[in-house]
Amino acid sequence: MTSKKIPIVLIVILLAVLAFFVFKFKQDKLDDNGAETPPDISQTKAALTVTTVRPSRSMMQLSIAANGSIAPWQEALIGAEVNGLQLNQVLVNVGDTVKRGQLLAEFSAATTMTDIAQAKASLAEASANAIEAAGNANRARSIQDTGALSTQQIEQLMTQEASTKARVAAAEATLLSQQIRLKQTKVLAPDNGVISVRTATVGAVASPGQELFRLIRQGRLEWRAEITSSEISAIKQGMEAHLTMPHGEKVIGKVRMVSPMVDAQTRNAMVFVDLPKHSQIKSGMFARGSFELGENEAITLPASALVLRDGFTYLMQVDKKNQPEKQNQNAQQGKVKQIKVEVGKRVGDRVEVMGLENSMENEFVATGGAFLSDGDVVSVVGSSAPLEIKH
């Protein structure tokens, strides 16, 4: 009977010892006020060694980015006005700069000169007949009351006078038409500009309206930028636009006009920007640019501090509240807290972060945040103070 009671006594003693240690462990986790003491993160192995950074207040340039093509301000189509004449000579080529009234090409004028000579002869004949008819009509009027001529004869003479006058007017019009046709054998530049297209070929027989040349009027080019309908209200006439050309050169233009319509398919509107004359700017180029709207103050962090996950942007805040006092503070530990944020403009390596007005003293992981998760412990070896940066 005694041997059966010994194991029971041992079990009771073991349970009492276990309860004592559990009670002692809980007491160690309570502070003087009876609250549970946070774990000492200094005893936890750090997941990563990092440096931290605090937000900075920066003056950032407000701008709207856009893409678009380079195109002529206005194009003039220079076509043939004559019909059936052969092109004798072409005096300009693509890329040539021309002045208003300059001779560009010339058609054969031999046929037109012959037509002019014939029109002059017809006019002379009509004029002679008109003079004779006018004399006969005047004589008939002078003897009208004598009865020497019948009323019918007098009317015939007056009608003949009017008819010959009409023939003279028709001959004059024919001569004028042929003279105009002679002028049209010379193709002249309608304005100052640069020849962008040439289809004229020596020896070709032209038809009315056939395109011979295309002229960039005054050599002016413009950037046709596409802007979303939500941003178009910020663009004003005369505003500067900063373009980056395909060859890397920077060009500054000015907004000439904002389109009064928004495309129903893309919901974008066109902004027309006048460009300075430059030998490296060519029609048809694609250019990227931005419209400068001024400056404003923003809270920024380095782009390396941002972590992109699942389509959202996060910051890794380092909390060092549980760090015990140490004599050597070269390497501290802290717990990472993942914070979801919204970002704005980007200038260089700085990015505007919204909603950090009350977090200017907080520290965030400067680089390597993508390797951390919420609640991880990190070893902090350096921290940078916020800077006042102007761009």
Q: Is the pLDDT of residue 389 over 50?
A: no
pLDDT score at 158: 87
Q: Which residues contact 127 (CB under 8 A, 6 or more apart)?
A: 168, 171
Least confident of 41-55, 239-253, 257-271, 348-362: 41-55
Q: Does 48 have pLDDT greater than 60?
A: yes
pLDDT in tens, 335-370: 899 999 988 877 778 888 988 888 888 899 999 888
> What pLDDT is attached to residue 88?
94
pLDDT of residue 56: 87
If you average pLDDT over residues 252-281, what whole number do you get? 91
95-135 pLDDT, tens digit per residue, is 999 999 999 999 999 989 999 999 999 999 999 999 988 88
The dihedral formed by the CA atoms of 347, 348, 354 and 357, expressed in degrees to the nearest 10: -100
Distance, in Å, from the CA atom of 260 to the CA atom of 40, rounded to the nearest integer, reads 66
Q: Provide the pLDDT confidence category of residue 277 given band limits of 50, 70 and 90.
A: confident
Query: Which pLDDT belongs to residue 27?
Result: 55
> Which of 18-32, 79-93, 346-360 has the lowest average pLDDT?
18-32
- Nearest to 355, CA basis, from 311, 317, 321: 317
Does residue 294 surpass a pLDDT of 60? yes
Output the pLDDT for position 213. Answer: 96
- In the predicted structure, residue 385 carries a pLDDT above the cut 60: no
Mean pLDDT computed over every residue of the chain? 84
What's the pLDDT at 123? 93
Q: What percent of the chain has pLDDT over 90?
A: 45
Q: Is the pLDDT of residue 326 over 50?
A: no
Half-sphere exposure of 40 (CA within 13 A, CB side): 9
Query: In which residue are the tokens 């009608």 written?
Result: 159
Residue 31 has pLDDT above 60, yes or no: no
Q: Can you give the pLDDT at residue 191?
A: 95
Q: What is the predicted pLDDT for the residue at 391? A: 44
Q: With bands split at pLDDT 50, 70 and 90, how would you rate the model's confidence at 390?
A: very low
The pLDDT assigned to 170 comes to 94
The larger pLDDT score, comparing residue 17 to residue 38, is at 17
pLDDT > 50? residue 307: yes
In whole angstroms, what separates CA 341 from the centre of its chain? 30
Q: Give pLDDT, residue 11.
A: 74
Taking the complete model, does pTM exceed 0.75, yes or no?
no
Is the pLDDT confidence value at 1 over 50? no
Between 179-188, 321-330, 334-343, the lowest mean confidence (pLDDT) is in: 321-330
**pLDDT for residue 331:** 64
